[in-house]
A = this chain, B = another copy of it.
Amino acid sequence: MGVEWKEHILDMLEARRYKELKEELENNMYPVDLADLMEGFSQKQLVMVFRLLAKEEAAETFSYMDSDLRELLINGLTDSELEEIMEEMYLDDTVDVLEEMPANVVDRLLMATDEETRQQINQLLQYPEDSAGSVMNVDYIALRKEMTVAESILKIRQVGLNRETIYTCYVTEKRKLIGSVDVKELLTTSESKKIEEIMDTNMLYGRTTDDQEDVAGIIRKYGLIALPIVDHEMCMVGIVTVDDAMLVLQEEATEDISIMAGVNPSEESYFGTTVVEHVKSRLPWLLFLMLSATVTQMIMNSYEAALAVMPQLAGFIPMLTGTGGNCGSQSSTLVIRGLTVGEIEFHDLFKVIWKEIRIAVCISLVLSVVNGIRIVLMGQGDMLMALTIGLTMACTVVIAKVVGCTLPLVAKKVGLDPAVMATPLISTLVDISTISVYFAIVSTVFQL
- Residues on A lying within 8 angstroms of B by beta carbon are 27-28, 30, 32, 153, 156-157, 160-161, 166-167, 183-184, 187-188, 202, 204, 219-225, 242-243, 245-247, 249-250, 253-254, 256-258, 260-263, 269-271, 275-276, 278-279, 282-283, 285-287, 289-291, 293-294, 296-298, 300-301, 304-305, 307-308, 311-312, 314-319, 321-323, 325-327, 329-330, 332-335, 337-338, 341, 343-344, 348, 351-352, 355, 358-359, 362-363, 366-367, 370-371, 374, 378, 380, 423-424, 427-428, 431, 435
Contact = CB atoms under 8 A, between A and B. Distances in A.
A38 B314 CA distance: 53
A30 B32 CA distance: 35
Given A157-B187, A249-B246, A258-B337, A312 B323 contact: no
A334 B270 contact: yes
Copies of this chain in its oligomeric complex: 2
Given A30-B222, A222-B30, A319-B293, A188 B157 contact: yes
A318 B330 contact: no
A145 to B, nearest CB: 18
Chain A, interface SS category: helix
A106 to B, nearest CB: 26
A311 B305 CA distance: 8
A155 to B, nearest CB: 10
A294 B319 contact: yes
Contacts of A153: 187
28 contacts: A166-B184, A224-B243, A253-B253, A258-B334, A261-B330, A261-B332, A261-B423, A263-B330, A263-B333, A263-B334, A270-B337, A270-B338, A270-B344, A282-B327, A282-B359, A286-B330, A289-B326, A293-B322, A294-B374, A297-B319, A300-B314, A304-B312, A307-B307, A308-B311, A321-B321, A325-B325, A326-B427, A423-B423
